[in-house]
């Protein structure tokens, strides 16, 4: 896995919001093909900023952003990144801006130059894949929270990305939708980075968990350890280590 070239490679990246303290300090981070990285970290530790740097929505003050083997600096460098990496926003209301579900899911494919018929077909296929048949003509703002989340995932997947960035996708989901999302993620043949506060969701959907601290990303050894110890026979009942 480590032999292949990383898809995302951030080196010594620094970032702060205007007038604020440094959010990311000399951050190093890599995602290799096939990896599923979970990030669990306190609020305000720069997780969302990390995603924004990868998508080119925020520009670092220093360091190097290399994605798909190419240095990405300016706005136009990121057009390709946005086509091949899909970002699922924290708030689905930010993502679903079209009046109807089908139009929203077809928005990405249309921007990629697909014809109307192709885009509609891709959108329908993606909705079916996520078990959202019959949602095509629903009005986006009238959907429930869980439905909005799944539809926005459909909108991202319809662009057929190679990598997914998921920003707290389980936030505010009920247990059923949560389980459904877990199944969907496990069934995907994609590399992804998933931010969540829920450790059990991360252990079920990712193969390595990092945390963020003082603007750095680090392997969370303690969590990692914990993740594996739950495989022992007592894992199902309450116990301490």
Residues of this chain that bind another protein (CB under 8 A): 52, 55, 57, 79, 82-83, 86-87, 89, 91, 93-100, 102-103, 106-108, 110-112, 116, 119-120, 139-141, 155-156, 159
Strands 8-16 and 85-88: unpaired
Cβ closest to another protein, residue 82 vs residue 226 = 82
Cα–Cα distance measured from residue 40 to residue 61, given in angstroms and rounded to the nearest whole number: 24
Q: How far is the CB of 113 from another protein (least distance, A)?
A: 9
Sequence-distant (6+) residues with CB within 8 A of 130 are 150, 153, 154, 157, 184
Cβ closest to another protein, residue 83 vs residue 216 = 83
Cβ closest to another protein, residue 65 vs residue 209 = 65
Q: How far is the CB of 49 from another protein (least distance, A)?
A: 12
Q: How far is the CB of 191 from another protein (least distance, A)?
A: 17
Cα–Cα distance measured from residue 227 to residue 134, given in angstroms and rounded to the nearest whole number: 39
Cβ closest to another protein, residue 41 vs residue 158 = 158
Between helix 145-157 and helix 175-187 the angle, nearest 10°, is: 10
Cα–Cα distance measured from residue 89 to residue 18, given in angstroms and rounded to the nearest whole number: 22
């Amino acid at each position: 896995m480590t032999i292949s070239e990383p898809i995302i490679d951030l080196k010594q990246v620094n970032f702060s919001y205007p007038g604020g303290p440094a959010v990311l300090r000399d951050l190093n981070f890599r995602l290799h093909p096939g990896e599923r990285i979970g990030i669990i970290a306190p609020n305000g530790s720069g997780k969302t900023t990390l995603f924004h740097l990868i998508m080119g929505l925020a520009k670092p003050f220093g360091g190097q952003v290399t994605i798909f083997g190419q240095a990405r600096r300016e706005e136009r460098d990121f057009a390709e990144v946005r086509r091949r990496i899909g970002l699922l926003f924290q708030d689905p209301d930010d993502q679903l801006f079209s009046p109807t579900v089908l139009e929203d899911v077809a928005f990405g494919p249309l921007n990629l130059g697909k014809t109307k018929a192709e885009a509609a077909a891709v959108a329908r296929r993606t909705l079916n894949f996520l078990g959202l048949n019959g949602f095509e003509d629903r009005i986006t703002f009238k959907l429930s929270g869980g439905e909005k989340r799944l539809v926005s995932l459909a909108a991202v997947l319809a662009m057929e990305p190679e990598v997914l960035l998921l920003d707290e996708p389980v936030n505010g989901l009920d247990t059923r939708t949560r389980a459904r999302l877990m199944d969907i993620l496990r069934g995907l043949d994609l590399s992804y980075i998933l931010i969540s506060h829920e450790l059990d969701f991360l252990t079920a959907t990712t193969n390595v968990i990092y945390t963020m601290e003082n603007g750095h990303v680090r392997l969370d050894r303690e969590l990692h350890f914990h993740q594996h110890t739950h495989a022992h026979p007592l894992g199902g009942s309450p116990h301490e280590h």
